[in-house]
Structure 1
């Protein structure tokens, strides 16, 4: 009987790194034994080890169990990125003085493919959520740091016409000079949007485009992440109707029941 089997490629890479780089001979030896066990060596041929030993070895290397994050596929131009950062910081200072308001705009979609990664559950009875094909609920939002949100929900695709219509509606509602932060997606950067910028400026609404490959500068991304991984519970994914109701409930109560500390 083998002592260890079925290790993932990620685990094998970690063990190989430990075997090659650890300064402790015993740690290197144990990591090597685990690899050999996975390759079919018998227990009698190996030094006995345990899960606790593996955990101790990994902790010594200051490694942890973290969610793997996606990253964008490119890098912004350094000089342009620095200039836009300075401009955005100046806008934030003006907002802190009460001169303007900044709203962070973006779109996100929701469907019956669940985003729930973890949940408290009894060891003897695991919670399962059905993943199923469904229509897609799309949301376009404009959010400020003080948890004020203007959100528009659609069961159709969000294109440039929709973005322009929502910005038109926002321009009618603003009480002071407002800057809307947007990324450079094709539904934001096009003639339909550009041709409306002067009209919006006359109403006190300005568009601030972020540098390419910089989603981390748009804090409304945090809202989408909270909704998908924290606030949408397993019951929301029972059917499309319950998903729509829960998404609407979160959006309506954002700023009161649901809040984010952007300090």
Structure 2
């Protein structure tokens, strides 16, 4: 699962989400800042739901590399959740960045930006539809 944060500005809407190449999405959105506590809570809950070894790919955001995440990492690994950090300055390696690009450029309409509430509703609807009604083709042919 590839993880990334995404912010839609004016009005502010933060999303922490993960997606895999089979269009399985999981995440949360908020009008508040994405904090280390929120990320740790999300990953902790995920560690109880997984049924097999799972690798979560993270970028090098401060909230991903903080003390709290480092302290919880051994606990998650015992549950089968492993963290993998991408090299610095390599968003092209994170498929979650493709999700944010398509969400903002294709799935959200200009009218969705009318108010904070319409933006949050449209974003949450689109993300809930990933893998059932909305799909991303992650294959790449050279």
Following TM superposition, by how much is the alpha carbon of 1:111 offset from its aligned partner in structure 2, in angstroms?
A: 3.3
**Does the aligned pair in 2 maintain the 1:107–1:140 contact within 8 Å?**
yes
Runs of 4+ in 1 over 3 A off after TM superposition: none
Q: Secondary structure at the match of 2:52?
A: coil
- SS of equivalent residue, structure 1 residue 262: coil
TM-score, length-scaled by structure 2? 0.94
Q: How far off is 1:142 after superposition?
A: 1.4
| Structure-2 residue corresponding to 1:110 | 8
For the 8 Å contact 1:111–1:240, the answer to whether it is kept is no
Q: 2:66 aligns with which of 190, 198, 202?
A: 190
* 1:82 counterpart residue number: none
1:201 aligned residue (77, 82, 90): 77
> How many residues align structurally?
139
Secondary structure of 1:250's match? helix
In the TM superposition, residue 154 of structure 1 has moved relative to its aligned partner by 1.3
Q: Could you say what the CA RMSD is over the residues aligned between the two structures, in angstroms?
A: 1.0
* Structure 2 residues without counterparts, runs of 5 or longer: none
User: Scaled by the length of structure 1, what TM-score is found?
Assistant: 0.52
Mark the runs of 5 or more structure 1 residues left unpaired by the alignment.
1-102, 113-133
Of 117, 125, 141, the match for 1:249: 125
Structure 1 or 2: more strand by fraction: 2
Corresponding residue for residue 111 of structure 2: 235
Bigger relative CO (Cα 8 Å, ≥ 6 apart): 2
Who wins on radius of gyration, i.e. which is larger? 1
